[in-house]
Structure 1
Amino acid sequence: MKKHLVAASLLALMGAAPLAQAADYTIDTKGAHASVNFKVKHIGVSWLTGRFNKFDGQFSYDADKPEASSIQVNIDTTSVDSNHAERDKHIRSGDFLDVGQYPTAKFVSTKVVKDDDNELNIHGELTLHGVTKPVVIEVEKVGEGKDPWGGYRVGFEGSTTISMREFGIQHKLGDLADTVELELHVEGIRK
């Protein structure tokens, strides 16, 4: 009888205790609190930097169980911006992104691995230029908390390196120009 009373008490306490669970977030692109940036060596002598001005996405995150997290980001490749109109035309052309045929790129996570207190490795599939390849984004949590407008936010920054040739982009500006460093800054608003 005593065992049943203890078991019933534990179940009641467990039912009363809030269970930590993942929350869903929308990436705050409207407030310009997120960015997708890139840099690539220009003919091996300098860095060409740029960004994609239009993208969206959402993610699920639980600080107590980050390995249950997931993210999806959709990028409008026509919005590439290297701060030079003629160069941007060339990047959009068939030599590089071929935005007429491939107007979007997408990253969808497949697994999240906790690396350190605030660091995660997000494994996923990147689709770019019509080719899908696995990539790992090294991510650091910047912070989380209530915002001044009554909402709740969490922010991350991450980076990965890809090869243009592996995504079917064959135009060659030198061997060093094949490697593209991608950098993401994401601030999510809890739904």
Structure 2
Amino acid sequence: MKKLLLAAAVSAALSGALGQAQAADYAIDIEGQHAFIQFKISHLGYSYLLGEFTDFDGSFSYDESNPGAASVQVTIDTSSIDSNHAERDKHLRSDDFLAVDEYPQARFVSTSYTPNGDGTGTLAGDLTLRGVTQPIEIAVNEIGAGPDPWGGFRRGFEGKVTLTPANFGFDYDLGPAAETLDMYLSIEGIRQ
């Protein structure tokens, strides 16, 4: 009986250790530019304005055996907005929009992750933009994970969220079709 109890205890300890070993922290691959934060918003209801933020940093934690414990944090340099038009970008950095002199950073910090069991889930968190913090939910899809050619291990996700700019203090009128903005995120992390 003692041997059986000892074997059960050792097995439980090893299972716990193995489960903990699967949890990992990842740095978002900014250096290799394998991450993107892009947006799309209607322009007067006639076309779409597309752009991205080119300077951001962040990390995430993920455990395959417990995906619900995942966490993410990202900081964006708001002056890095790029819509492929210098004069428009200057306007987007102004007080009419991002007010980058007063609010040089936007930040997202997750509060929970709800997996659906099929590689998708909902990432909830707080987005601070233009000095206003609002809760948002990002629809997440796991792209894949595995070793890279340089001896590391990578994991990638994509996410989509629709934001209401007015909720973050934007009041510049771009027409009724521009009341929401779609964001697309493609994030590849390198295990640390």
Measure the CA separation in 1 of the matches of 2:101 and 2:177. 26
TM-score (norm 2): 0.96
Q: Secondary structure at the residue paired with 1:141?
A: strand
Alignment of 1:12-91 (within 5 A): 12-17=10-15, 18-21=17-20, 22-91=23-92
Q: Secondary structure at the residue paired with 1:98?
A: coil
Measure the CA separation in 2 of the matches of 1:108 and 1:16. 32
Alignment of 1:78-117 (within 5 A): 78-117=79-118
Paired position in structure 1 for 2:160: 159
Q: Secondary structure at the residue paired with 1:165?
A: helix
Q: Secondary structure at the residue paired with 1:19?
A: helix
Matching residue's letter, 1:20: G
Measure the CA separation in 2 of the matches of 1:180 and 1:163. 6
Matching residue's letter, 2:130: H
- Deviation of 1:16 (Å): 3.5
Structure 1: which 5+ residue stretches go unaligned?
none
- Deviation of 1:162 (Å): 0.5
- Deviation of 1:14 (Å): 2.7
- Deviation of 1:59 (Å): 0.4
RMSD value over aligned CA atoms?
Answer: 1.0
Matching residue's letter, 2:98: L
Paired position in structure 1 for 2:4: 6
Matching residue's letter, 2:184: E
Q: Secondary structure at the residue paired with 1:57?
A: strand
- Deviation of 1:7 (Å): 1.3
Paired position in structure 1 for 2:119: 118
- Deviation of 1:12 (Å): 1.5
Q: Secondary structure at the residue paired with 2:150?
A: coil
Measure the CA separation in 1 of the matches of 2:70 and 2:135. 17
Structure 2: which 5+ residue stretches go unaligned?
none
Measure the CA separation in 2 of the matches of 1:110 and 1:40. 26
- Deviation of 1:13 (Å): 2.2
- Deviation of 1:15 (Å): 2.8
Measure the CA separation in 2 of the matches of 1:132 and 1:15. 42
Q: Secondary structure at the residue paired with 1:20?
A: helix
- Deviation of 1:51 (Å): 0.2
TM-score (norm 1): 0.96
Matching residue's letter, 1:134: P
Matching residue's letter, 1:10: A
Give the total of aligned pairs.
189
Q: Secondary structure at the residue paired with 1:172?
A: coil
- Deviation of 1:64 (Å): 1.6
**Identity over aligned pairs, percent:** 49
- Deviation of 1:116 (Å): 3.6
Q: Secondary structure at the residue paired with 1:166?
A: helix
The answer to whether the aligner puts 1:150 opposite 2:148 as a matched pair is no
Measure the CA separation in 2 of the matches of 1:189 and 1:99. 29
Paired position in structure 2 for 1:131: 132
